[in-house]
Amino acid sequence: MGNIENAALDLLRQLVFAQAHGESAVQDVIQQRLLAAGCMVDVHRYDPADVTVVGEFALDAARAVGERTAVVGSLAGDPSLPSLLMFAHPDGEAQSDVSRWHHDPFGAEIENGRLYGWGVADDLAGCAAAVLAIERAAAANIPMGRVVFASTPSKRYARGVAALLHDGLRADAALYLHPAESGIGMREIKATASGHIEFLIEVSGRQPDTTEPGHTAFSHLSDNPIDKALLVRSALMQLAEDRAARVRHPLIESIVGRATNIHVSHIQSGDMQRLSRIQDRCTLGCAVSFPPGETLDNVKAEISDAVRNATTKDPWLKDHPPKITWVTGVTGGEVPPHHPLYATAARVVADITGGLPQVNPMHTSSDIRNPIVEANIPCVGLGCLGGDLTQNGRNDEWVDVADFQCMVDVTAEIVVNWCSGKQAQKSPQSPPH
C-alpha cells in the first residue's frame, strides 16, 4: 500500500479513535487538519431550533436539542472560477451497548478488506474524504475557485448544513459525501432524493355505557376506535393508489414501479392485559414518500383531504374527526444527468473506477436535498461501500478499504476538475444528441 493510501487510512482511523471521546473530539481532529492544509477555519455554533428552514419540519420531540457546532474550512480561490461546497456529518449514533460487536468499535480494526468502527460509514468516511480532497486541492498548485468543506451535524434534524446556508454560505455546486447504504458503493451517484413525511392520526372512539369491567358483551353498543381507524387506513391506501397512478417520476418508477407511496406502519390501541375492553382511541403511525417536484404543503393537503372525506361516510367520525399530527417532513430534490455537476462527477467516477456509475433514486430524505431546497445549489452525493450501520440496529459497522480509497480519489478529482473550470458538459452515460 502506497503512502497516499496509508495517509487516507490513517486519517479515517484517527477519526474512529476520536469517536470514542464524542463528536467534539472528531471535530477537533478535522479542524486541525483543515488548518494545517492552509484553510481559513470558522467554528459555527448554532441551535437547531433557531434554524429557519424552507423545505423541512420536525416536532421538538424528533429534533436535536441544544447548541451544536459546525466546522467550516475554506480554501480561497479565484472568484472567476467555479466554487464547490463539500459537506459530511461528524455526528454518529449515541454510543450504547457494544456487547454484540466482534471488533473494538473504537479500534479502527482492519480485517478482510474492511475497516470497522462506530460511525465509520455514517459518516466518518465522508468527513475523511473531504479533508483529504481539500489537502490535495491545496497541494495542486493550479488556479481554482473556492473550495469549502463543512463538517456539519445532521442526525435527528440537527440541521447543520441548513444553518450555514441560511447564514449565507454559498457555492456554485455542492457535494455530499456519505458511504452508500445500498451495497453499490462508488458505482452509484446520489442525484435524486424523494421527499418524506411521517405523521400520526389519532382516531377517537366511544366505550359502551356500562360499569362492567368487561366490554365484550356490550361491544356492539360502542364505537370501536380500531374499526374507525381501519376506515381511515382504507382511505389512505386508496389515496396511495390514486397518487401512484398520477404522480410520476420515471427513474423512481423504473426501480420500484411507482414514484410515491403511503403506508401505515404502526397501530396503537388498547392493553394486551385487558383484551375484553374497548378503548377510547386508536393511533395510526404513517409515512408518505413523494418525488422531487412535489411540495410538503401539497402532499399534506392531499392526506388531510383523504382523511376528511373518510369521516363524511361514517356518522361517528363525522362528529368526531380524526386528528393529524405532522411529525417530520423533508422536500425532495434532484440534479438531472445533463447538468455539468452530474456530468463531472459521473465522468470522474467512470475514469477512476473503470465503470459507468448509476443514479440510485431510492435514497429518500438524502441530505443532497439541503443545498438544492434551501439555497438552490445543485448537489450530488457519493460514497464508498459500507454496511451494518449502527443506526439500523446492526453492529460492527464497516467500510470497504479499497472503495474508501476510491472515494478519496474521486472526491479529490471532482474538486480539481470542477473548481479549475474543467467541468464535463456531458455525462458518460448520456446518449448522443
pLDDT of residue 433: 29
| CA–CA distance, 75 with 432 (Å, rounded to integer) | 37
Q: Is 429 within the bounds of a domain?
A: no
pLDDT of residue 61: 65
- Is the whole-model pTM more than 0.75? yes
Report the candidate in 192, 193, 189 with the shortest Cα–Cα distance to residue 345. 189
pLDDT of residue 420: 96
Domain boundary among 330, 348, 375: 330
Q: Is 63 within the bounds of a domain?
A: yes
Coil, strand or helix at 84? strand
Q: Are 226 and 251 within one domain?
A: yes
Q: Is 431 within the bounds of a domain?
A: no
Q: Are 131 and 279 within one domain?
A: no
Q: Are 285 and 370 within one domain?
A: no
Over residues 349-401, the pLDDT tens digits come to 999 999 999 998 988 888 999 999 999 999 999 999 999 988 888 999 999 99
Q: pLDDT-derived band of residue 58, with 50, 70 and 90 as boundaries?
A: confident
Count how many residues are written for the chain: 433
Q: Is 25 within the bounds of a domain?
A: yes
Residue 4 clears pLDDT 80, i.e. is over it: no
Q: Is 426 within the bounds of a domain?
A: no
The C-alpha cell that represents 49 in the structure block = 431550533
Range of the domain at 70: 3-192+333-419
Q: Are 119 and 214 within one domain?
A: no
Residue 102 clears pLDDT 50, i.e. is over it: yes
Q: Are 155 and 240 within one domain?
A: no
pLDDT of residue 94: 84
Q: Are 227 and 361 within one domain?
A: no
Q: Are 215 and 135 within one domain?
A: no
Which phi and psi angles does 382 have, rounded to 5°? -155, 160
The C-alpha cell that represents 131 in the structure block = 479533508
Q: What is the CATH number of the domain that holds 244?
A: 3.30.70.360
Looking at every residue in the chain, the average pLDDT score rounds to 93
Q: Is 246 within the bounds of a domain?
A: yes
Q: Is 430 within the bounds of a domain?
A: no
Omega prior to 242 cis, within 30 of 0 = no
| CA–CA distance, 392 with 27 (Å, rounded to integer) | 24
Q: Are 137 and 240 within one domain?
A: no
Q: Are 126 and 177 within one domain?
A: yes
pLDDT of residue 244: 98
The number of folded domains in the chain is 2
Task: Please give the sequence-ordered ranges of beta strands (E in DSSP) within 108-245, or none if there are none.
Answer: 110-111, 114-116, 147-151, 173-177, 188-189, 192-193, 195-204
Q: Are 171 and 35 within one domain?
A: yes
Share of the chain above pLDDT 70, in %: 97
Share of the chain above pLDDT 90, in %: 82
Cell 435527528 maps to which residue? 156
Q: Are 255 and 296 within one domain?
A: yes
pLDDT of residue 33: 98
**N-term to C-term CA, the chain:** 43
Cell 457494544 maps to which residue? 98
Q: Are 188 and 276 within one domain?
A: no
pLDDT of residue 281: 96
Domain boundary among 303, 330, 357: 330
Residue 136 clears pLDDT 50, i.e. is over it: yes
Q: What is the CATH number of the domain that holds 126?
A: 3.40.630.10
Domain boundary among 330, 363, 398: 330
Residue 431 clears pLDDT 50, i.e. is over it: no
Q: Is 424 within the bounds of a domain?
A: no
